[in-house]
Structure 1
Amino acid sequence: MSTEAATVADLAQQAIAPERVDPGEVYAIASGDGVRIVDTDAYAETPRHASATRIVTDARSFVTYVNRHRRPGTEVFAHTPSSAVVAVIDSHEGTDQANGWQKHRLTLGLEHTKAWLAWTALDLGQNPKAWLDQQQFAEFIEERALDVVEPDHARLIELATKFEATTKVEFGSAVRLDNGEVKFEYSETVGPRKGNKGAIDLPKELKLGLRPYIGGPIYWVVAALRYRIRAEGLVLGIALQRPEAILEAAFADIVTEIRDGAEPNEKDKSPGHPGIGDVPIFYGKP
């Protein structure tokens, strides 16, 4: 088509009076290249199909959302290695049933608590360089004392105080006692009490009460205490016992809570909620 003819065609199209269209409908319009599809769904009061990607951070919110939007084809996928749960709200209904668009999804994005992150950051099994000097160890124990179930709080604070008070001593030996604790013998090297000897008893391990995921249950976690006597002084560390198993158990319990619901917990004041009932749960990724 010549430039002059194209101009005439454009002027002719502009001369056509505007017409009202129905919002939400799909139109086929003739154009110079054939037929063009125009979808006016964006102008309708409501879209034809639900399309959303939502993220919640606890099981209760996940269940509430699924129960609010569930359809005949709704299904849930739980992936243990990544600790992720995904609900496909508009999935396929099944053999010889309606197919779903699979555009409406909800993800449970679990987040670790500050307590879990604090202890795992110093886990020698995950971070072999996470040794602390006496002052650092004492400060950490004081800061996280409420996470420790055994030994009791008074013993723990006493231990931290002793380590803070003996930063300028020379440790001569460490003796393991019959009860599993370690006795550190030391002699003071500065001040008016130079040469005086003393000892510190270090527990074999700490029993922690940690909540791995925000909104999830609390688990007992054993933290074995480690030590090294180096030229620059005593350094200490912790080694969590099988933290990966704790995470797997915590995730499994959360999936169970999603399926079956949870009763109110008077201990931590958490409210109860129902489960997703007959919505199927598959282990894997959608």
Structure 2
Amino acid sequence: MEQNVITEVVNTIVAALQKPVEVISDMDDHDIKRVALPPGWILQERDDIKLKAIPQRKTGQVILNDAESFIDYINRHKLDNSTTLYCQTNYEKGDVNFIVVFNDHIGMATGQQWRDHLASFEPGKSIEWERWAKNDREVMTQREFALFIEDNLRDIATVEGMPTGQQLLEMALSFEANQDMRFKSAIRLQNGGVQMSFVQDDDSATLAKMQLFDKISIGIPVFWNGDAYRIDARLRYRARDSKLVFWYELIRPDKVIEDATKVLINTIKEKTEVFFYFGDPSL
């Protein structure tokens, strides 16, 4: 009889040891459990939150493609005293990036948050800006320069003291007409322009003249679907083997990007009314 009792006790102990040991963490609703399983008795974590119909809180990261969508998304999910907008810029490189942290830390001793619900927005440059920036300081032949001016004539702004689009078109057409002629000389005029002389290679008595402007003014949007901004450019030329090459130099494009970015920042701040900082949230 005693042997049977001892055997039963031993079997009970062995059976108990073969069962998993469950440790419930100190969390709301006991959603996360830690379980030790034989034979190695390694502690494993079981997240039952994922089995719920909805998560306990919002998490994730969304990438928005335009300012309007970014603003609407912020207003849809923002939290009082918590949602924070950050902006990182490098105007010289043309980089602008926004990150909003919806559950950011609150400015109080017990205001810590998880900072894991995010949205980002990197304003894309307009096609016009990309085109003019790409060809900035790129040397072109007479024909290449003429075609570039013709293709982008609508970007030329009408500014007092600067050539109009029609004047630039006439200049471009003159370039095409004179591309097979030999460059002879250039005279700077009182209005800041340059008058160039060309001669036929086989007839030095034939002389053609045209005027080159030393500056132009461009009116183009910096960001896609944004407002247009004025940016001036210097026109440059150089004679190579009696042939001319041309290029233009955008004047301080970084300042134009900075102005456009400040307008965008003010628009986002006014329409969302969230905390704003220049910097990196360092998530």
Q: Same fold (TM over 0.5)?
A: yes
Q: Secondary structure at the match of 1:46?
A: coil
1:204 Cα offset (Å): 1.8
The residue type paired with residue 284 of structure 1 is G
Aligned-pair identity (%): 27
1:194 Cα offset (Å): 7.0
For 2:98 and 2:45, locate their aligned partners in 1 and report how far apart those are by CA, in whole Å: 37
Asked whether 1:101 is paired with 2:114, we answer: yes
Tell me the residue number matched to 1:69.
77
Tell me the residue number matched to 1:285.
280
Select the residue among 197, 205, 208 that pairs with 1:185: 197
1:61 Cα offset (Å): 1.8
For 2:104 and 2:272, locate their aligned partners in 1 and report how far apart those are by CA, in whole Å: 16
Tell me the residue number matched to 2:262.
252
For 1:48 and 1:136, locate their aligned partners in 2 and report how far apart those are by CA, in whole Å: 61
For 2:52 and 2:227, locate their aligned partners in 1 and report how far apart those are by CA, in whole Å: 45
1:196-211 equivalence runs, <5 A: 196-211=206-221
Asked whether 1:88 is paired with 2:101, we answer: yes
Select the residue among 71, 92, 116 that pairs with 2:129: 116
Count matched residues: 247
For 1:159 and 1:42, locate their aligned partners in 2 and report how far apart those are by CA, in whole Å: 69
RMSD: 2.3
For 2:83 and 2:235, locate their aligned partners in 1 and report how far apart those are by CA, in whole Å: 48
The residue type paired with residue 87 of structure 1 is V
What's the TM-score once normalised by structure 2's chain length? 0.81
1:2-13 equivalence runs, <5 A: none
For 1:189 and 1:259, locate their aligned partners in 2 and report how far apart those are by CA, in whole Å: 63
1:162 Cα offset (Å): 0.9
For 1:207 and 1:217, locate their aligned partners in 2 and report how far apart those are by CA, in whole Å: 16
Unaligned runs of 5+ in 1: 1-7, 14-22, 125-129, 261-274
Over 3 Å off, 4+ runs: none
Preserved CA contact (<8 Å) 2:184 2:242: no
Post-superposition CA distance 1:87-124 (Å, at most 9, x none): 00111122134422111111111111111111111222
Preserved CA contact (<8 Å) 1:24 1:44: no
1:153 Cα offset (Å): 2.7
Asked whether 1:29 is paired with 2:31, we answer: no
1:80 Cα offset (Å): 2.4
1:165 Cα offset (Å): 1.0
The residue type paired with residue 201 of structure 1 is Q
The residue type paired with residue 85 of structure 2 is V
For 2:87 and 2:226, locate their aligned partners in 1 and report how far apart those are by CA, in whole Å: 16
For 1:94 and 1:116, locate their aligned partners in 2 and report how far apart those are by CA, in whole Å: 40
Preserved CA contact (<8 Å) 2:182 2:242: no
1:257 Cα offset (Å): 1.0
The residue type paired with residue 197 of structure 1 is L
The residue type paired with residue 34 of structure 2 is A
Post-superposition CA distance 1:174-217 (Å, at most 9, x none): 11100001101111225xx7741111101121110011111332
Tell me the residue number matched to 2:177.
165
